[in-house]
C-alpha cells in the first residue's frame, strides 16, 4: 500500500469551489478502489491524504494532478505503508460561516488516528485558515 499527502490551491476560492462535485466523484471512485484518507479544504487550499493499494493510489493521484479545479500542487510525501491511518474516506470542509471551534474539534477527531507526519501539516494549515477568519 501507499500513502500520498499533497497540498494545493483552489482555482475558484470560497464557497463557489466545486466541492460537491469533487466529493461525489471521490466518494464513488475511492470506494471502488479501496482508497481511504482525508480531504481538507477551507475553500482556498486543499490538503489531502490518500492511502490504499499502490496502483490505485498512483492512478488516483495521476487524475488529481490533471484536475484544473486546483493548481500549485505540492507533494508533501509519497511513501509505502503497511497499514492505513484512516478507516474511511472523509472530506472536511470549512465554509466561510462555519464556527472555527466546532470545525477544529471535528478535524482533531478525524486526525486523532493519524501519524504526526500527517497531522502536523493539517494542523498548520488549519491554524492559518483560522487567522484568515
Ligand atoms: C482537491 C481535489 C481532490 C480530489 N480527490 C479525489 C479523490 O480522492 N479521488 C478521486 O477519484 N478523485 C478525486 N478528485 C477528482 C479527480 O481529479 C478527477 O476529476 C476524478 O477522479 C475523475 O473521475 P471520473 O473519471 O470518475 O469522473 C479530486 C479533485 C480535486 C480538485
Residue spans per domain, the chain: 2-132
As a whole number of angstroms, the longest Cα–Cα distance in the chain is 39
pLDDT at 96: 64
Residue 10 Cβ inside 6 Å of ligand 1? The answer reads: no
CB of 39 within 8 A of CB of 26? Answer: yes
Residue 39 Cβ inside 6 Å of ligand 1? The answer reads: yes
Which pLDDT band holds residue 131 (cuts at 50, 70, 90)? Answer: very low
| CATH architecture assigned to 2-132 | 2-Layer Sandwich (3.30)
Spell out the residues 6+ positions from residue 118 whose beta carbon is closer than 8 angstroms to its own: 3, 5, 49, 85, 111
Which pLDDT band holds residue 122 (cuts at 50, 70, 90)? Answer: confident
pLDDT at 133: 35
pLDDT at 129: 56
Which secondary-structure segment (H or E) carries 123?
A: helix 116-132
| Nearest residue by C-alpha to atom 8 in ligand 1 | 26
pLDDT in tens, 67-76: 999 999 999 9
Could you give the angle at the alpha carbon of 120 between the alpha carbons of 13 and 106, nearest 5°? 65
CA of 34 to the centre of ligand 1 (A): 14
DSSP state of 11: S
- State how far the Cα of 64 lies from the Cα of 28, in Å rounded to an integer: 14
DSSP state of 14: G
Which pLDDT band holds residue 65 (cuts at 50, 70, 90)? Answer: very high
Amino acid at each position: 500500500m501507499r500513502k500520498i499527502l499533497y497540498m494545493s490551491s483552489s482555482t475558484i476560492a470560497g464557497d463557489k469551489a466545486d466541492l460537491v462535485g469533487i466529493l461525489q466523484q471521490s466518494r464513488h471512485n475511492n470506494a471502488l478502489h479501496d482508497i481511504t484518507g482525508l480531504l481538507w479544504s477551507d475553500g482556498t487550499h486543499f490538503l489531502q491524504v490518500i492511502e490504499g493499494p499502490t496502483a490505485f493510489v498512483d492512478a488516483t493521484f495521476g487524475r488529481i494532478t490533471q484536475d484544473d479545479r486546483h493548481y500549485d500542487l505540492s507533494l508533501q510525501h509519497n511513501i509505502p505503508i503497511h497499514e492505513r491511518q484512516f478507516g474511511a474516506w472523509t472530506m472536511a470542509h470549512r465554509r466561510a460561516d462555519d464556527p472555527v471551534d466546532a470545525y477544529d474539534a471535528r478535524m482533531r477527531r478525524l486526525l486523532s488516528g493519524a501519524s504526526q507526519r500527517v497531522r502536523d501539516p493539517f494542523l498548520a494549515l488549519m491554524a492559518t485558515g483560522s487567522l484568515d477568519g
